[in-house]
Amino acid sequence: MSVFRRTAGSRALVKGLRHHGYSSIATVQEPTLVSVMPNQMRVASEATSGETATVGVWIDTGSRYETDANNGVAHFLEHIAFKGTTKRSQLQLETEVENMGAHLNAYTSREQTVYYAKVLKKDVPKAVEILSDILLNSTFSKAAVNRERDVILREMEEVESQIEEVVFDRLHEVAYVGTPLARTILGPEENISSITADDIVKYVKTHYTAPRMVLAASGAINHDELVSLAGDYFGGVPMAPPDGYTFEDTPSLFSGSDVRDYNDDMPSAHMAFAFEGLKWTDPDVFTLMLMQSLLGVYDSKSAGAAHSSTPLTVALANSGLFTSVQPFCTCYNDTGLFGLYATANLAGYHEAQEVQQILQDEMVSLCTGVSDEDLAKAKSSLKLNMLMQMDGSSPTAEEIGRQMLTFGRRMNLAETWARIDAVDTSDVKRVADKVIWDQEVAFAAVGAGLKYMGDMNSLRRGTFWNRY
């Protein structure tokens, strides 16, 4: 099989950055090899020592590429793909995976769908073949579709019981009103009850095309063998959907609005404040990630909560009103969300006003500048979190697949570290001004005491301070 392109530039980049004093941790990373097949499907891998590997297919499609009429079909497809193919029944598939001692899984997000397997080194060829069979030969029988409806509806009930999931779904609804990112991943109950096998087949033909797919792997992997396997099992994936199978890639526009689900039977209030963040490829995305680290994480149950050094966590501990606060920086292809998720006790107007003021003041304070010492701590924290999230072949394969879809390449640790180290305090102030100062805000909340929280005008006024 002929291959158009292969790159291993990360080793050369690591060598160059080593002389500039960047972290030695980043210089030991193995290069990510990338090949592009004739049908434009990409193959990317990072070989490490050991006897296990993770291999999977990352696809550039998710709930944002659906319509109001078929919202939920991507997640439905993820479920039904394991229910049998033209070559294997569901039982045969499950038995084969179990006999290998492998882990086969999938997930759907707003912008990506992923199918992956963790296997022994010797079983990588079999894993690639199984993944191709699931993706290209699933039968989508009417009986299996009907059985899976009940499973998804039960899953929906479980998700509705997870308050944080509910709040973030509602946050997307009010942050991106009427645009694709407002849709939930599971879709509405009426869609789940009405999606047919034909709807699923149409979705696959429309979105599962080779240029939107990446075969990514990490661990005990031979790249040349992986490219050969990709040609054998994915070489026939079409480059474009058939005539008549088109979709509209509508941009998601951020708008400031709010939603509140009053429930005084709950012990506390769960809320999320968000500004429009940055897309994955924005040059300032690492500065925004550092702003997330600068805010810090608070958990009242943690023994060290009262001794945290970030201004936000100190204020939270002193108030005694918060159970937990978690900053978030969520990036998408064309936008993002930056803000705080909090759980707090709102016993009255005074408490609610204090909660709102602390959360907003500490975010707005980033616009007034941070110290070199605090920024250095944030850089160390961000780097550590990144390393922890890449500990193992599965997280590394996830990183490779996601970056190939979002950046079009793998950004190695040496480059990542260099970008983080290049951020200074003036960058933080500049990006904070752009994202936070006097900007529209989205707010979603569920729980008790929300009647005491300020209205949308109050939230909007909290995005700036009067300067004299």
Structure tokens belonging to residue 157: 């009930």
165 is catalytic: no
Question: Which amino acid makes up residue 417?
Answer: W
148 is catalytic: yes
The one catalytic residue among 46, 148, 362, 415:
148
Would you tell me how many other CB atoms lie within 10 Å of the CB of residue 451?
12
**Residue 370, burial from CB neighbour count under 10 angstroms (0-12, 13-18, 19+):** buried
64-100 core/surface letters (b: 16 or more CB in 10 A; e: else): bbbeeebbbbbbbbbbbbbbbbeebeeeebeebbeeb
Q: How far is CA 189 from CA 113, 174, 192, in A?
A: 21, 19, 5
Contact 359, 346 (CB under 8 A): no
Contact 174, 119 (CB under 8 A): no
- Phi (first) and psi of residue 454, to 5 degrees: -65, 155
Specify the residue for token string 């490829």: 281
Contact 73, 140 (CB under 8 A): no
The one catalytic residue among 30, 78, 276, 398:
78
Catalytic sites, residue numbers: 78, 148
